[in-house]
Chains A and B, each alone.
Chain A
Amino acid sequence: MSTLETPAPPPQPPAAATVRPLAKKRARPSEQLFKWLVVGLTAITMAMLIWLLTSVLIRGAGSISWAFLTDKPSSNPAKAGFNSALRGSIVLMMVTIFFAWPIGVAAALYLEKFAAQSATLTERRLRERLATGRVTGLGATWARTRLWWLRIRPRVVHLVDVNISNLAAVPSIIYGLLGLAIFVGVLGISKSLLAGGLTLAVLILPIIIIAAREALRAVPMSIEQGAMALGATRWQAVRRQVFPAALPGILTGTILAMSRAIGETAPLIVVGGVVYSTAVPSLNPLDAGNEALLAMPLQIYFWTDQPQASFQAIAAAGIIVLLATLLVMNLAAIILRNRYSKRW
């Protein structure tokens, strides 16, 4: 009986196919060299940054206090505060954003969503209208002007395209000269926070346009087409679907543009000069036209220009406040981007 229970011999595993033996791990010196080169270069960058931050912190940390943030400027370094500069920068940013944001976003919307749209049908309709002879005089001239515009529009848009990128690379001091010539010279605005804010608005306009265009472009065409296939006009599709979807990206770009503007010194020096003022600017942006131009980087510049050593310490303290502001703004931009950006 036991013979019946003898288990069948285990099936032989099939013999493996013959292949060449695997190569042993081998050293690759050029890989290593490249890796350490990159690490080294990164370390140099980081070391510079750390050195800058620590030297500023060592010199300025002692001067930072609540009083430093709330006191107005003074010729006595022990009593001098950063309050006016802080307020000046806040008002400056309000003015800048009030002018730069709507204009920049509108320009981006036009360039991205309307300038490139198909003109075939409009052209056909205008031609048909002219051919019937029903439109005469002014109407015909208007139709012909529109046809002409549609024909040259691609070239104009291309020109604008190229120049916006160029504008973003123009040195900021040039914007200062432009602001001085236009806002102070031509428009007769006093050398005030308003003139400074307008100048910074022109300065960051190309940055906002580029950022907003990128955010709009990141929204897939299928969203716009889906909306229009439901019977929405292009404006409805853009306003109700594309723009809201692009808004987090646009706001991120805007914050980054603002953090560029808040640290700008050169254009403000050109527009307003560095003047010693003990006035405390009002936080109401409507008064910006009457307030002397003062901002954090200007105050820091003014202090570093003073001979007394104690002014250097409060200049360092001012730099810490400015850097902290920048850090908060960039952090806000990162949070906004990570939290609301859509992955399509």
Chain B
Amino acid sequence: MTTNVDPEKTAKDSPIEIHLATGAADGGASPPAAGAQPGATSAEPSLGPPIFRLHDLGVWYGNHHAVKGVTMEVPKNAITALIGPSGCGKSTALRCLNRMNDLIPGARVEGRVLFGDEDLLSSDVDPVDLRGRIGMVFQKPNPFPKSIKDNLEFGMKVNGIKPTAERVEQALVDAALWDEVKDRLKAEAFSLSGGQQQRLCIARAIAVEPEVILMDEPCSALDPIATLAIEDLMKKLAERYTLVVVTHNMQQAARISDQVAFMTVEGTAEGNRTGVLAEVGTARQIFSAPKDPRTEAYITGRVG
């Protein structure tokens, strides 16, 4: 009675098919009309308590209103995916969560982002300390031009964590990279492949023991095999961390996420393009029964 084919795995390995992380795809075949299940999807028993609560979040770059009116919750120990067409401000919104927008000259953030019960945008919150607790992985792997070990130790040192060999090993094990690099920790990080570099960046983020890991299109520079390795890793990490992942890949969002926020672009009267949040819901609801027509148009491939 040995089965070579694991149906779960087959579905996951196929890069085209939309496979829902949350379970069976009974409703997925035929997208019901918008609003077909009023009230039914608003109850989301599987998602934990919110770690972030965004209230009317907006971002300005100079006079350009890049993002406006984002109000949503991010559940703890789950994967929230931010999806949407290019330029809809999903990366910009993500960068508010660890105050990385502070580093961009001319950027201004308005609204509130409650982390627990405190507004992390408040001017008396220390952004440096905050970023130690809310880690980030970028679109393009950006290891430091140093050894693998140095890459991990840097974050620990600046956060006052003693960089022991055990901690280095643990972070690499957690990032599913240990077996590949355990014999060459002194090797240059640049000698790794793109996928390995990205896992090193994840290991580097884990090594500082954050509570949340933000990922900005972490697989967009990687091939499909490396992408699957990172996705498996994300699902594993979600057991211990809260993950917020920006992706332009809907299949990826469907494969990995528990909650999905769909952002889109609105033209303003002045001719500017502003990113807005169209809809947020469980991955299953968004992909099987989107309420907003724009979401439906996007996920069925009619736009974007």
- B205 at interface by CB-CB < 8 Å: yes
Q: How far is the CB of A235 from chain B (nearest CB, A)?
A: 10
Contact residues in A for B142 (Cβ distance below 8 Å): 220, 222-223, 225-226
B123 / chain A contacts, CB cutoff of 8 Å: 121, 124-125, 128
Contact with A along B199-220 (1 / 0, CB 8 A): 0010011001000000000000
Distance between A229 CB and nearest chain B CB, rounded to angstroms: 4
Residue B104, interface by CB 8 Å: yes
How many Å lie between the Cα of A120 and that of B59 in the bound state? 13
| Residues 118 to 170 of chain A near chain B (Cβ within 8 Å) | 118-121, 124-125, 128
**Bound-complex Cα distance A226 to B146 (A):** 13
Cβ of A240: which chain B residues have Cβ within 8 Å of it?
Answer: 154, 158
Measured between alpha carbons, how far is A236 from B135 in the docked complex, in Å?
A: 17
A117 lies within 8 A of chain B by Cβ: yes
Question: Least Cβ distance of B207 to chain A in Å?
Answer: 8
Q: Are A222 and B128 in contact (CB under 8 A)?
A: no
Question: Which of B102, B129, B144, B201 is within 8 Å of A121, CB to CB?
Answer: B102
Partner of A223, one of B128, B130, B132, B145: B145
A231 touches B144 (CB 8 A): no
Q: How far is the CB of B27 from chain A (nearest CB, A)?
A: 38
In angstroms, how far is the closest chain B Cβ from the Cβ of A27? 47
Q: Across the interface, do B128 and A233 meet the contact criterion of CB distance under 8 Å?
A: yes
Q: How many residues of B contact A (CB 8 A)?
A: 35
Give the residues in chain A near B146, CB-CB below 8 Å: 244
Of the listed stretches B9-17, B46-54, B105-113, B274-282, chain A binds B105-113
Decide yes or no whether B131 CB sits under 8 A from chain A. Answer: yes
The answer to whether A116 and B105 touch across the interface, beta carbons within 8 angstroms, is: yes
Nearest B residue to A237 via CB reads B158
- Give Cα A116–Cα B135 distance, bound, in whole angstroms: 25
Q: How far is the CA of A125 from the CA of B125 in the complex (A)?
A: 11
Q: Which residues of A sit under 8 angstroms from B103, Cβ to Cβ?
A: 117-118, 225, 228
Closest chain B residue to A125, Cβ basis: B123
The 0/1 profile, CB within 8 Å of B marked 1, for residues 215-252 of chain A is 00000101101111111110010001100110000000
Any A CB within 8 A of the CB of B285: no
In this assembly, does A79 line the interface, its C-beta being within 8 Å of a C-beta of chain B? no
Interface 1/0s, chain B 231-275, versus A by CB < 8 A? 000000000000000000000000000000000000000000000
- Give the one of B146, B154, B159, B204 with max A CB within 10 A: B154
Residues in A neighbouring B132, C-beta threshold 8 A: 230-231
Q: How far is the CB of A238 from chain B (nearest CB, A)?
A: 12
* Cβ distance B201 to chain A, nearest Cβ, rounded Å: 7
The winner among A222, A225, A229 for most chain B CB atoms within 10 A is A229
| Closest CB pairs A-B (n = 4) | A231-B132, A230-B155, A222-B142, A229-B136
A residues at B contact (CB < 8 Å): 116-121, 124-125, 128, 220, 222-223, 225-233, 236, 240-241, 244-245, 342
**29 CB < 8 A contacts A-B:** A117-B103, A118-B103, A118-B106, A118-B107, A120-B102, A120-B108, A121-B102, A121-B127, A125-B123, A128-B123, A222-B140, A225-B138, A225-B142, A226-B138, A226-B143, A226-B204, A227-B144, A228-B100, A229-B138, A230-B159, A231-B128, A231-B131, A232-B128, A232-B155, A236-B158, A240-B154, A240-B158, A245-B145, A342-B190
